[in-house]
Structure 1
Amino acid sequence: MKVVAIIGAVLAALYYVIEKNLDSFYIFETDHLHDLAKRAIATHGNDTRAIVNYIKTELSATTKLSSYMSTGEEWFFNNAGGAMGGMTILHASITEYLIIFGTAVGTEGHTGRHTADDYFHILSGEQWAYVPGEYEAEVYRPGDVHHLHRGDVKQYRMPDNCFALEYARGWIPPMMFFGLADGIFSTLDIPTMWTTSYVTGREMIGNLLLGKF
């Protein structure tokens, strides 16, 4: 019991220190990502693959970011909150993640109520969102960013082909439970759950070894 108490105290202290200093751990700037997404769209129009490559190339060439960016392009499914799409990780650490998420056939689901702020930069297509009590949908189009504040929740829909640059900042590990719950209790897609856990864990540990929380 003493060991458990000590571990609990250490984790609580660590949480307190990081929570009070979260801003100091972020390496991405929300304004820069929004500007980058808009420039990529302006340059490549409806060519989503070229838009994504533009974004990846600039981020990988940015001195302060290059060491923390994923070097591969591993696409895999993501089932979360009833929605399904494909994703590839550009960066994952304890306090941030940056991914490309989207689908060519449309999807709908629950955003989740998260321990991080989520910035969903639309690259192609549209995302619709709904908040209880409203009578009209929020509609986000290419160049727009949908900011889901930490702790908030919405229903969302990507009615057709839609891809986005998704950036989250805050406490990332607790979000993994939401990201894997559908696989555990619904799809039972073990290979996808393994890939998601392996790639995310690899990137987080790799960035921790570089001193990036």
Structure 2
Amino acid sequence: MTYKIDPEVLQRVVTEAYPHLIDPTPGRWVASTAGGILGKVRFLYFSPREYVVIFGTPTGTQGFSGRYRRVDIDKFLLAGQIDSYDVESDDTDHLTLLPGDRGRMERGHARGLTIHPGSYHVEYGRGFVASTLPFAMVDTLLVSLEFASVRRSAVEFAALLRKRRRT
């Protein structure tokens, strides 16, 4: 398969060129609740095989990463701290990401997460992206009953897909 985005290049870009992308301007972020993790997301790129978002929280949150059997996910921390652990391992150690660090969750793995206050990261997913949407939307729709956020997410996805088709 041919991919347009190289995670190694993205890490350099995130840590050196784009720290200014975090913009708390109202109307530019969408609320997201997935796996109990409540935060704000801004969609930067979305295609059937790849996505790039900025995700963060000004107050902190914790929950479950999800298990994506058909997508690898890279996180590039811009600000704050993320602690995570393998939910199925006998290992009691945890991984800490600090600004400039890259974390990777390979297909089929799942992690418990604590995202500290003021943490923002760029997330890049590669694989069958549509398989992530149920996890990304079910909590927001069925647990939080936050229909406005689901609608807004759908509008953002559609706009990015239309933009991608024009390019």
Asked if Structure 1 and Structure 2 have the same fold, meaning a TM-score greater than 0.5 normalized by the shorter chain, the answer is: yes
- For 2:130 and 2:158, the matched residues in 1 are separated by 10
> Residue 154 of structure 1 aligns with which residue?
111
Aligned: 1:183 with 2:124: no
Can you list the C-alpha shifts for 1:143-175, whole angstroms capped at 9, x where unaligned? 101100011111111122100011111111111
Q: Distance in 2 between matches of 1:183 and 1:31?
A: 32
> How does 1:64-213 map onto structure 2 within 5 Å?
74-114=28-68, 115-131=70-86, 132-207=89-164, 209-210=165-166
CA distance in structure 2 between the partners assigned to 1:27 and 1:180 by the alignment: 26
Inter-partner Cα distance in structure 1 for 2:162 and 2:67: 25
- For residue 52 of structure 1, report the CA deviation from its aligned partner: 3.3
| Paired residue total | 161
TM-score, reference length from structure 1: 0.71
Runs of 4+ in 1 over 4 A off after TM superposition: none
* Displacement of 1:97: 0.5
Report the Cα distance in structure 2 between the residues aligned to 1:149 and 1:52, rounded to whole angstroms: 28
Paired residues for 1:38-57 under 5 Å: 38-40=15-17, 51-53=19-21
Separation in 2, partners of 1:169, 1:205: 19
C-alpha separation between the residues in 2 aligned to 1:123 and 1:170?
23
Letter in 1 for 2:47: S
Using CA pairs under 8 Å that are at least 6 residues apart, name the structure with larger relative contact order, 1 or 2: 2
Match of 1:44 in 2: none
**TM-score normalised by the chain length of structure 2:** 0.89
Amino acid at match of 2:153: T
**1:210 deviation in Å?**
4.0
Gap regions ≥5 residues in structure 1: 1-20, 41-49, 56-72
Q: Tell me if structure 2 keeps the 8 A contact 1:93–1:205.
A: no
Larger radius of gyration: 1
What pairs up with 1:16-31 in 2 under 5 angstroms? 21=1, 24=2, 26-31=3-8
CA contact (8 A) 1:82 1:182 kept: yes
Identity of aligned residues (%): 24
**How many Å separate the matches in 2 of 1:153 and 1:135?**
15
CA RMSD after TM alignment = 1.9
